[in-house]
Chain A
Amino acid sequence: MSPIGEARIKVPDQIKRGEVITVNSIISHPMDTGFFRTAEGAPIPAFFIKNVVITYGEREVGHFEWTSGISRNPVVTFTLKADREAPLTMVWSDNHGGIFKQSINISFVSA
């Protein structure tokens, strides 16, 4: 399994200016609820991504508030109106202070 916080963002290979694109993301994280125990009976504390912030260029375009109800290794897909060439950045924060960042450049195919 990938180390905690390893993240990937995927956008289409060829993007036209003004197009609404689909953005896929995944981050490696256990998303422990705090309700389970180990095989030895020790409780596993809650450990989960609670906040995701999406920035396109300088502007925040969305943020998500999560609980441990999101499945292990969280995926989220959303859309973006690609109207400028700028980096798309996602920052995931967990309840233990872990902060994980990943970026991808939105650039257009030349006509």
Chain B
Amino acid sequence: MRDRRTFLRSFAAGVAGLIAGRSERLLAATGVATGPEDPEVPNEEVARILKGLFGDRPIRRGHVDLDMPIVAEDGRVVPVIIESDLPMTPDHYVTGVHLIVDHNPDPHLAAFHLTPELGQVSLSTRIKMKRSTWVRAILETNTGEVWADYAKVLVTLNGCG
């Protein structure tokens, strides 16, 4: 999946480059990185959501793969894939996956409550995005660990009205 993601990112960057004519300048202007990058500090609302969900537990990056397009042409329909390599056994499993879109009117977009009977963490859906922003996929295990992955998505057409 990492390979596919790399491919998608480079492909999207290439398309953006064709459109803009100068891909490097576009990428620099939009702050889109090609490698791992930490999201900006959450705004007040997102910070409150994170605190409510996870308290003071550290949110560590890892064990989650959030796969999204680097450029979303239509904010009304943006594909999302969330996967994790964490086990789904009766003793150790992922209890919930939270999808947070920082600059959406309702940032806590979805919560997926899971059980070991699903066998693995592999979810996909389509979401709306108002504007370019960080997206956070944060999951929680039955032992209380919190793991996350982040993606910055450039939105061309507002999908939230």
- What residues of A have a CB within 8 angstroms of the CB of B124 in the complex? 75-77
The yes or no answer to A87 lying at the interface (CB within 8 A) is no
B98 to chain A, nearest CB (A): 9
Size of the B side of the interface (Cβ < 8 Å), in residues, is 32
A75 to B77, CA, bound (A): 11
Size of the A side of the interface (Cβ < 8 Å), in residues, is 28
B128 touches A62 (CB 8 A): no
B39 to chain A, nearest CB (A): 18
B119 touches A75 (CB 8 A): no
The yes or no answer to B63 lying at the interface (CB within 8 A) is no
- What residues of A have a CB within 8 angstroms of the CB of B110 in the complex? 64-67, 69-70
The yes or no answer to A99 lying at the interface (CB within 8 A) is no
Contact with A along B110-126 (1 / 0, CB 8 A): 11111111111111111
- What residues of A have a CB within 8 angstroms of the CB of B113 in the complex? 62-65
A74 to B127, CA, bound (A): 9
A60 touches B115 (CB 8 A): yes
